[in-house]
Amino acid sequence: MCDIKINESRQVEDNAEEKEEEKDWVAAKADFENLQTNKPRPPKPKNAVTVAVSSRTLFKMKAERLVYETEGVESYVAYQVEHENEPLKPGPAFPFVKALMTVNSRLRELYPDGEELFDIVLMTNNHAQVGVRLINSINHYGTPAFGFIQNCADLLTILNFFFSDLTIERFCMTGGKSPIGYLKAYMTNLYLSKDAEKVTEAIDEGIAAATMFMRDTENDLCDNQLRVAFDGDAVLFSDESEIIVKQSGLDSFFEHEKKFENKPLAQGPLKCFLEALGKLQRKFYAKNERLDCPIRTFLVTARSAASSGARVLKTLRSWGLEIDEALFLAGAPKGPLLQKIKPHIYFDDEMFHIEGAKELGTISAHVPYGIGQKYHKGKLIEQPKKE
């Protein structure tokens, strides 16, 4: 009987301690959230549109990559530490990330306490020691560091980025391990990398992802509006219709699309990102800012409008999504039109279109999804024979 009373007494004490610890945690959390700072806080992941970028997409790291591949990881880390006060040059995702920050600035003007914002996460398998150079580079473009000015080109770079801070507070440095497992934990809406295998792995996990490519020539981009262009089939939509084109030809495709015009296409890997963009666009529409919205979306598809365009537009309507401009090219090259649009990023599933776009100065991202990965310029890629 005495033992029972002792056990009950201990349980009461344990419960009291747990409640006290919970109170302490709640109080500590409240104190942290009440801390005053002039820097905007990152939004809560559940409210944000989270874009994860690798270090090699945000910055040019060609020389550093060469050290890693030829001399190994120890020499690579030592090289980064030795050069950590030298800011890295902007990479293919840099203009896109800067444009996201511009949208955030507008959102904070309209909704000072709002948390429906873009949240950028630097997702890299770099060693933590390399993080110092990455942080220094981000701070360099966030707050002009005049100590880095060595010539007119450096001064021009600073002036170009002066009015739109590069702010990235969330880092994930995995020390050589794949960062893919962390994407869901960060509630990632889009993952951009230079590593096609990691991108494919992310898509297989249901996360919108693409492989970034550096454009061959520099074109001026809009500095007050984020412009995002999407291909249709195997990007926003599934590859179900593209399979028919590849296997049975255009006539069968046109017949199929006419027959199933009122049946929505299944979603593709980037549909959820378009949905996230639409959520933020509606924040501007609610403030009567539709005509001055800093987000603009484009559908750039090889489909013909009359023969197969209706199903695409009806699919978007059935999803409750809007696209600002829909361009049906009927098989014409996409590069020249994209050159006029000047998107901060263009998503396509076929490398043929990616190559044509980046040659004319478009920042392009390959979505390795669907039957298009088995073809190049319309021809089936021969697979190596199994022995």
How do beta strands 49-53 and 188-193 pair?
Answer: parallel
Is the CB of residue 166 less than 8 Å from the CB of residue 142? yes
- Evaluated on CA atoms 286, 291, 293, 298, the torsion sign reads positive
- Which residues touch 225 (CB under 8 Å, ≥6 apart)? 99, 102, 293, 294, 295, 296
Tokens of 342: 């000047």
Whether 319 and 271 have beta carbons less than 8 Å apart is answered as yes
- Inter-CA distances, 20 with 13, 24, 377, Å: 10, 6, 66
User: CB atoms < 10 A from the CB of 3, how many?
Assistant: 7
Check if 204 is active-site. no
Cα gap 183→192, rounded to integer Å: 11
Beta carbons within 10 angstroms of residue 303's beta carbon: 26
Query: What is the rounded CA–CA span in Å between residue 168 and residue 386?
Result: 46
CB 60 within 8 A of CB 90: yes
Calculate the alpha carbon distances from 64 to 77, 150, 173 in Å: 9, 21, 16
Q: Are the CB atoms for 146 and 158 separated by under 8 Å?
A: yes
Catalytic pick among 119, 165, 195, 231 = 231
- Residue 222's φ and ψ, nearest 5 degrees, are -65, 130
Q: Give Dmax (Cα) for the chain.
A: 88
In whole angstroms, what is the distance from residue 261 CA to residue 252 CA?
A: 14
Residues 6 or more apart whose CB falls under 8 angstroms from that of 310 comprise 257, 261
Q: What positions carry a catalytic annotation? A: 231
